[in-house]
Structure 1
Amino acid sequence: MARTGKPAGRAARRRDARAARDAPLDLDGLRARVARAAIPGPADRAERARRLLSAWIGTAAAHGASLRDIVRGLGNGSAAEQLRGALETEISRNPPPVLRDAACRAGCAFCCILDGPDGGTITEVEARRMHGALAPLAGRPDGRDWHPAACPALDPETRTCRAYDERPGLCRAYLSSDAEACRINAEGGAAPGAGLLSTHPDALAVHGLARAALRGVVRVETFALARLNAAALEGRDVDAALDAARHPPKMLDEALRGLVSSAAAARRR
Structure 2
Amino acid sequence: MNSRTDRRAAGKSQGKAKGRPTTVADLRARLDRARAAGAGKDAEARARRMLAAYLDTAVAHGLSLQQAAGELARGQAAVRLGDVSRDALMQNPPRAVTEAACAEGCAFCCILQGGDGGTITEAEASRLHDALSPLAGQPDGRGWHPAACPALDPETRACRAYEARPTICRSFISTDAEACRVNAEGGAETGAGLLGSHLDYLAVHALSRDLLKGLARVPTYAMARIAQGAIDGEDRATTLDAARHKPRALEDACRDAAKAGGR
TM-score for the superposition, normalised by structure 1:
0.86
> Is residue 101–residue 177 contact of structure 2 (8 Å, CA) maintained in 1?
yes
Residue type of the partner of 2:33? Answer: R
Aligned equivalent of 1:231: 229
1:121 Cα offset (Å) = 0.1
Aligned equivalent of 2:71: 73
Q: 1:38 aligned to 29, 35, 39, which one?
A: 35
Deviates more, 1:227-236 or 1:91-100: 91-100
Q: Give me the whole-angstrom Cα distance separating, in 1, the residues matched to 2:22 and 2:86.
A: 32
Q: Give me the whole-angstrom Cα distance separating, in 1, the residues matched to 2:211 and 2:244.
A: 20
**Deviations, residues 91-136 of structure 1 (Å, cap 9, x unaligned):** 2222222111100000001000112121110001100110111000
**Deviations, residues 202-221 of structure 1 (Å, cap 9, x unaligned):** 10100000001101100000
Residue type of the partner of 1:44? Answer: D
Q: Give me the whole-angstrom Cα distance separating, in 1, the residues matched to 2:125 and 2:205.
A: 14
Query: 4+ residue stretches of structure 1 with deviation over 6 A?
Result: none
The 3 A distance-change label for structure 1 pair 160 and 21 is farther
RMSD value over aligned CA atoms? Answer: 1.8
> Is residue 113–residue 150 contact of structure 1 (8 Å, CA) maintained in 2?
yes
Residue type of the partner of 1:107? Answer: G
Q: Give me the whole-angstrom Cα distance separating, in 2, the residues matched to 1:174 and 1:105.
A: 12
Identity of aligned residues (%): 55
Q: Give me the whole-angstrom Cα distance separating, in 1, the residues matched to 2:206 and 2:31.
A: 11
In the TM superposition, 1:3-82 aligns within 5 A as 22-41=19-38, 42-82=40-80
Residue type of the partner of 2:61? Answer: H
The 3 A distance-change label for structure 1 pair 231 and 117 is same
In structure 2, stretches of 5+ residues that fail to align are 1-15
Q: Give me the whole-angstrom Cα distance separating, in 2, the residues matched to 1:20 and 1:97.
A: 53
SS in structure 2 at match of 1:175:
strand
Residue type of the partner of 1:180? Answer: E
Q: 2:194 aligned to 182, 188, 196, which one?
A: 196
TM-score for the superposition, normalised by structure 2:
0.88
Give the length in aligned residue pairs: 244
Q: Give me the whole-angstrom Cα distance separating, in 1, the residues matched to 2:221 and 2:20.
A: 30
1:62 Cα offset (Å) = 1.5
In structure 1, stretches of 5+ residues that fail to align are 1-18, 265-269
SS in structure 1 at match of 2:22:
coil
Aligned equivalent of 2:156: 158
